[in-house]
Structure 1
Amino acid sequence: MRLRLTPRDTTYFDLFAALAQHNVTGAGLLAELLGADRAGRKAIAKRFVDAEHLADDAAHAIMKRLNQTFVTPFDRDDIYGLASALDDCMDAMEEAADLIVLYKVEALPARVSEVVQVLQRSAELTAEAMPRLRSMEQLSEYWVEINRLENQGDKLHRKLVAELFDDLAGDPVTLIKLKEIVDVLEDACDAFEQVANMVETIALKES
């Protein structure tokens, strides 16, 4: 790692860790929502909105810090990009939860829970990786595993869409609702991969 002659503001690492932890909460709420009845889903969706607001606040804290400091631990654009990417993960998960409630979905395909498990694991790995930005060490395993999980999510998404068209050919309204939900869940998987891509870019620049 290259020698630095100026001090670094370490507050950013704590803020990134906090933002990533909100995504862990969000993925957990999404899993909880799948097993709830319609009334329970509404209550969980309300908690999800609160969690999403906390994630927004954490992202805004990073942006505010960025505007207040001259010396940053790594490239300013990368700090902005990483904060935005982390926030996008929560936004996509919250959107999926909101659609499930708004569309009054009675039952979701079994594979949806598998996609949510991918999201939970992605969120956990991302939260574990954020503190390692301080040293930029032992991060390659993180982005490789996130890439693997995203590929797994892609395969699950393709199977889900195929099953929806097979099972709901005679019910186009339900088909449209469920396809939109599984598409947004796939967006969430992609969002976690984007975070990992940002971390890889930062690590390579700093090495």
Structure 2
Amino acid sequence: MASGFLKFFLPKDKVFYSLFEEASQNLEAIAGKLVLCVNESDYNKRATIIKEMEDLEHQNDDLTHKIFVELGRNFITPFDREDIHALATSLDDIADYIYASAKKINFYKVDPNDSGILKMADAIHDAVLAVNAAVKELRNLKNTQKIVECVIKINYVENQADDIFDLSIEKLFDSDIDAKSLIKKREIYQIMEVATDKCEDAGNVIESIVVKYA
């Protein structure tokens, strides 16, 4: 009864769902380009991919702004205003950190043919795929089991990324790499690991929405 009453007040244009879906689809694109970037040995070809990633990151900035504008315009929202704000912020953060990790690789002139960087890029991509799948299910909240499975997948990948990060740092300090190169690689690992943390943040918000409204 309560859920039926709630649905009566949902905005007919479902503008928030469309904006979230567009943002998460963009994330899938930018994460795919990160995988291409770290597997590309040519600096200039990487630079072209990174420029494409920058464009996608800017698109997500614009989408986040649109979500905040709609939040100001709409008295009735499909779920808690705090959750809308938190999800928009976390999706934007994911894009920021994915783009930042690729940018740092070329800025520092680091060879991305490194097991830690390659594995971390794959982990980010896997986490983003799960985030996008979960966001798509928010529109109707009928398939809560699929959303829960996506959130579990995000958390699993984030734990994997933590392990990859720890092993990469250990390997880095055990190597005979010079101090400057060590600092550069460590920073790239850290940025990539934060990207998976931000995916987990998005998963937590989505899980909160499911608990409240499903």
TM over 0.5: yes
Aligned twin of 1:80: 85
Contact 2:116–2:189 (CA under 8 A) maintained in structure 1: no
Q: Which residue in the other structure is 1:13 paired with?
A: 17
Aligned partner of 1:150 among 154, 158, 168? 158
Aligned residue among 34, 44, 47 for 2:38: 34
Q: Is the 8 A contact 1:13 1:134 kept in 2?
A: yes
Matched, 1:180 2:184: no
Q: Which residue of 1 aligns with 2:204?
A: 197
Are residues 14 and 109 of structure 1, via their aligned partners in 2, closer, same or farther at CA, if it must alter by over 3 Å?
Answer: same
- For the residue of structure 2 that corresponds to 1:73, the secondary structure is coil
Q: Is the 8 A contact 2:151 2:203 kept in 1?
A: yes
**Which is worse superposed, 177-186 or 138-147?**
138-147
- The structure 2 residue matched to 1:164, chosen from 172, 175, 180, is 172
Task: Please name the residue that 1:124 is paired with.
Answer: 129
Equivalent-residue separation in structure 1 for 2:201 and 2:100 (angstroms): 18
Map of 1:41-80 to 2, 5 A cutoff? 41-80=46-85
Tell me how far 1:107 sits from its aligned partner: 4.3
2:101 paired residue number: 96
Classify 1:107/1:31 alpha carbon distance in 2 versus 1 (closer, same or farther; 3 Å): closer
Gaps of 5+ in 1: none
Report runs of 4+ in structure 1 exceeding 2 Å deviation: 1-7, 134-138
Point out the more displaced range, 195-204 or 4-13.
Answer: 4-13
Instruction: Report if the CA contact (8 A) 2:134-2:151 is conserved.
Output: no
2:120 to 111, 115, 118: 115
Aligned Cα root-mean-square deviation (Å)? 1.4
How far, CA to CA, are the matches of 2:9 and 2:105 in structure 1? Answer: 47
Higher mean C-alpha deviation, range 189-198 or range 53-62 = 53-62
d(CA) in 2 for partners of 1:41, 1:16: 28
Q: Does the 8 Å contact 1:108/1:178 carry over to 2?
A: no
Structure 2 unaligned runs (5+)? none
Query: Residues 35 and 80 of structure 1: is their aligned pair in 2 closer, same or farther, counting only changes over 3 Å?
Result: same
TM-score by length of 2: 0.92
Paired residues, what number? Answer: 206
The one-letter amino acid paired with 1:167 is: S
Q: For 2:3, what is the secondary structure of its paired residue?
A: coil
Aligned-pair CA distance for 1:125 = 1.4
Alpha-carbon distance in structure 2 between the residues aligned to 1:107 and 1:135: 41
SS of the equivalent of 2:127 reads: helix
Report the 3-state secondary structure (helix = DSSP H, G, I; strand = E; otherwise coil) of the residue aligned with 2:75.
coil
Pick the aligned partner of 2:140 from 135, 151, 154: 135
- Counterpart of 1:7 in structure 2: which amino acid? F
SS for the counterpart of 1:3 is helix
